[in-house]
């Protein structure tokens, strides 16, 4: 049986970033994954690298996000080289559009709270300043302003994932897709990880990063981590000439020219990814109010994916008290946090010392606290 230093369970954005980071630091790593029929947020998300809305009520999460954004330029350069293709990381700033005075007032209050919690880069811009920031952008007449954070940006998440997988392989790591993990047992100073196809591997350390499946796998190593699925639907249009110079929450122009429009936040607990005409139509209607020329754009595709969501919407990281060397990492902003996962979190898995900010995101905060239900989504 193959023995590894680290076995990561889950080959999405979170598990692959941590596995890549561990392999780059010299560990022998296997990433165990399901197959193409799996539910995978990493292949269906919106691609924002985003700080302005992160950490309201949990300043440690805000700071963890800012650390990731600071580490992003280096990650983007490495991931592009590894993918053999630009990951299109563009830290050009980001907006959340407001379409009437009530929305602007609510956003102003939100920005005020963010400042009080140490996130000072976000501010409100009025219509006039928006027009200066986005010269030539044909904004609809209803846009009265926006929140603006110059540190935000966006990326091509699929190329990023490809780069992380390539980095894992380049550093000697192994990707083992095709069979879910079904059991974990302690075995002579290591853990034996059994897969549904009858195969097994051994590892001294384990990282559970299985997205919406995290809860039941984390329980195998004594960790109690409630996670539920929150569905998000997306639209992508045909390619257009440059029209939107800066990404916004729920509308961005990709490096290829398509316009991505999002996203719903459907918290019905259903582990399925249907799209609905009603939701797609509502998203498209709002996008057209922001950018009227989109009314003439053809929709090419619509899809849905499931965000792994903890009860308060903030990430959860921990090492098991009963199974030393076994960790969990789960979050709904795995694109934004890819840089801290490939860096400080990978170091934590190898050293056993959790970064202070991540330690504040321990899932023990949910124990005996069923009232935590607030959700933050993109
Ligand atoms: C619509 C939408 C928009 C989003 N927009 C953004 C955004 O703009 N910016 C941002 O930062 N984040 C965004 N996110 C969130 C981001 O996509 C997720 O946080 C991230 O992809 C989670 O990665 P993950 O690896 O934890 O989960 P996943 O990508 O779901 O991967 C989990 C993996 O675990 C594997 N697995 C499950 N069970 C087992 C098992 N038993 N054995 C082995 N493997 C197993 C699965 O096969 C899968 O490959 C968005 C998500 C959605 C759905």
34-74: per-residue pLDDT in tens? 987 788 898 999 999 999 999 999 999 999 999 999 999 99
pLDDT in tens, 201-215: 999 999 999 999 999
- Which residues does ligand 1 sit against, CB inside 6 Å? 9-15, 32-34, 38-42, 44-48, 50, 180-181, 209-211, 213, 217, 232, 234, 263, 305-308, 330-336, 378
Ligand 1 center to 142 CA (angstroms): 34
The alpha carbons of the chain give a radius of gyration, in whole angstroms, of 21
Percent of all residues in the chain with a pLDDT value above 70, rounded to a whole number: 97
Ligand 1 center to 151 CA (angstroms): 23
Residue appearing with tokens 């990561």: 8
C-alpha pair distances (Å), 36 with each of 177, 234, 247, 334: 9, 20, 29, 19
β-pair type (174-176, 29-32): parallel
Ligand 1 center to 215 CA (angstroms): 14
The fold of 3-82+157-227+311-366 is FAD/NAD(P)-binding domain (3.50.50)
Closest CA to 185 of 38, 371, 323: 323
pLDDT tops 90 at residue 377 = no
β-pair type (316-319, 299-309): unpaired
Token representation of residue 224: 């109690």
Ligand 1 center to 184 CA (angstroms): 22
Residues in CB range of 152: below 8 A, 6 or more apart? 48, 49, 50, 51, 52, 69, 91, 93, 94, 247
- For 228-309, give the CATH class: alpha beta
The C-alpha atoms of residue 257 and residue 363 are separated, in whole angstroms, by 40
Ligand 1 center to 331 CA (angstroms): 8
Report the nearest atom of ligand 1 relative to the CA of 262: 1
- DSSP E strands in 150-257: the ranges are 153-154, 174-176, 181-187, 190-195, 200-208, 228-239, 251-253
Give the global pTM. Answer: 0.96
What does the domain layout of the chain look like in residue ranges?
3-82+157-227+311-366, 94-150, 228-309
Same topology between domain 3-82+157-227+311-366 and domain 228-309: no
Residue appearing with tokens 């005996």: 368
Query: Which residue's CA is minimally distant from atom 4 of ligand 1?
Result: 45
């Amino acid at each position: 049986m193959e023995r590894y230093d680290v076995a990561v369970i889950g080959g999405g954005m979170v598990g692959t970033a941590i596995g890549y980071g561990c392999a780059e630091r010299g560990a022998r790593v296997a990433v165990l994954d399901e197959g193409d029929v799996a539910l995978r947020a990493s292949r269906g998300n919106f691609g924002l690298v985003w700080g302005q809305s992160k950490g309201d009520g949990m300043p440690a999460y805000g700071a963890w996000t800012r650390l990731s954004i600071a580490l992003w330029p280096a990650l983007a350069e490495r991931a592009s080289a590894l993918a053999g293709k630009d990951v299109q990381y563009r830290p050009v700033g980001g907006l959340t559009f407001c379409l009437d005075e009530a929305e602007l007032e609510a956003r102003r209050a939100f920005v005020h709270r963010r400042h009080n919690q140490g996130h000072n880069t976000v501010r409100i811009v009025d219509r006039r300043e928006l027009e200066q920031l986005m010269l030539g952008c044909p904004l609809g007449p209803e846009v009265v302003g926006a929140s603006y954070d110059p540190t935000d940006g966006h990326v091509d998440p699929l190329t990023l994932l490809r780069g992380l997988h390539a980095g894992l392989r380049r550093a000697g790591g192994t990707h083992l897709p095709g069979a879910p993990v079904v059991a974990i047992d302690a075995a002579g100073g290591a853990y034996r990880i059994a897969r549904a196809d009858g195969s097994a591997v051994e590892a001294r350390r384990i990282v559970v990063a299985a997205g919406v499946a995290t809860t039941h796998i984390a329980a195998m190593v004594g960790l109690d981590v409630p996670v539920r699925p929150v569905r998000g639907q997306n639209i992508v249009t045909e390619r257009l000439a440059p029209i939107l110079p800066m990404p916004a929450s729920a509308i961005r122009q990709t490096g290829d020219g398509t316009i991505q429009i999002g996203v719903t936040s459907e918290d019905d607990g259903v582990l399925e990814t249907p799209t609905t005409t009603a939701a797609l139509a509502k998203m498209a209607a709002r996008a057209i109010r922001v950018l009227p020329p989109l009314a003439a754009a053809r929709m090419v595709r619509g899809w849905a994916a499931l965000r792994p969501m903890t009860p308060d919407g903030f990430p959860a990281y921990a090492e098991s008290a009963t199974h030393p060397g076994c960790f969990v990492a789960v979050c709904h902003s795995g694109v934004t946090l890819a840089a801290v996962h490939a860096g400080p979190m990978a170091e934590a898995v190898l050293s056993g010392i959790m970064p202070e900010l991540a330690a504040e995101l321990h899932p023990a905060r949910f124990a005996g606290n069923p009232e935590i239900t607030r959700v933050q989504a993109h």
